[in-house]
Amino acid sequence: MSGHGQVVCVTGASGFIASWLVKLLLHHGYTIHAIVHDQTKVEHLLGLEGAKERLHLFKANLIEVGSFDSAISGCHGVFHTASPVPFAVEDPQSVPMWYRISKTLAEDAAWKFCKENGIELISMNPGMVIGPMLQPTLNGSVALIFNLVGEKTFPNAAFGLVHVKDVVTAHILAFEVPSASGRYVLVETVAHCSEIVRILQELYPSLSLPDKCADDKPLAPTYQVSKEKVKSLGISFIPFEVTLKETVENLMEKGLLSFKCK
């Protein structure tokens, strides 16, 4: 990967995935127009290697028409990682998963807009993204792991999981590989919460973890996700056990978890 001489835009740049995307893009020589909503939450970006020379911050709002124009101007490509979530809802109980729905609606709208305007689009659809955090605050997907600690029960749920580094690598390769096209699903493994707890217990025997499911129903089934298309980009997935360990170690480094390690 080499981005020397290329300028790209990253939206939602202070977020979990986007922060790693900025880090890797800088590492490979790209100049970045980073769009953030709150410029008081970018200290972790400013400290990245290459940021002083090639990271330029822009403030914009996803729901304000035209606020992205200056940031996107002159860019060879845009990595759109930000997603707005509607807060004014007439009947919130009828649709409980607004975050997930916002992602689906945004992708549908993007495909329609790009087809109508002759813009090349590639969409990346990761599962639950975990791994070490660059940003100082706990994000929703890593909270899945964090919230298991100290609980009496674990959720009866299965998740497709993937390392954040694999997600951002796939983004960049999709931009760079000429044959890349369409939609990509990014999942290294699918695991039930019971399996996540089992692996955590093996890695960290002294960690307080739940030993039973939150309900008495049969365990939610896992499922298969094909890796063939995304592997065509040149991705080699980080094993889930490594991803889980790096996630926990990072939580420890940030002072969010404290216990005696194996």
pTM: 0.90
Confidence check: pLDDT of 66 > 80: yes
> What pLDDT score was predicted for residue 101?
79
Q: Give pLDDT tens digits for 111-160.
A: 999 999 999 999 999 999 999 999 999 999 999 999 999 999 999 999 99
Q: What torsion, rounded to 10 degrees, do the Cα atoms 105, 107, 143, 158 define? A: 90
Alpha carbon distance 214, 46 (integer Å):
42
Please, what is the average pLDDT of the chain? 91
Cβ neighbourhood burial of 258 (10 Å; 0-12, 13-18, 19+): exposed
Alpha carbon distance 186, 124 (integer Å):
7
The average pLDDT across 33-55 equals 94
In this predicted model, which residue has the larger pLDDT, 4 or 67? 67
The pLDDT > 90 percentage for the chain reads 80
Alpha carbon distance 241, 111 (integer Å):
35
> What pLDDT score was predicted for residue 84?
52
**Token pair of 215 as six digits:** 């309900």
Alpha carbon distance 164, 162 (integer Å):
6
Q: What is the DSSP string of 187-205?
A: -SEEEEHHHHHHHHHHH-T
The reply to whether CATH 3.40.50.720 applies to domain 126-262 is yes
In this predicted model, which residue has the larger pLDDT, 27 or 99? 27
In this predicted model, which residue has the larger pLDDT, 226 or 95? 226
Give domain limits for the chain: 126-262
Q: Give pLDDT tens digits for 82-112.
A: 765 444 444 544 555 666 777 788 899 999 9
Confidence check: pLDDT of 71 > 90: yes
Binned at pLDDT 50, 70 and 90, residue 258 comes out as: confident
> What pLDDT score was predicted for residue 75?
97
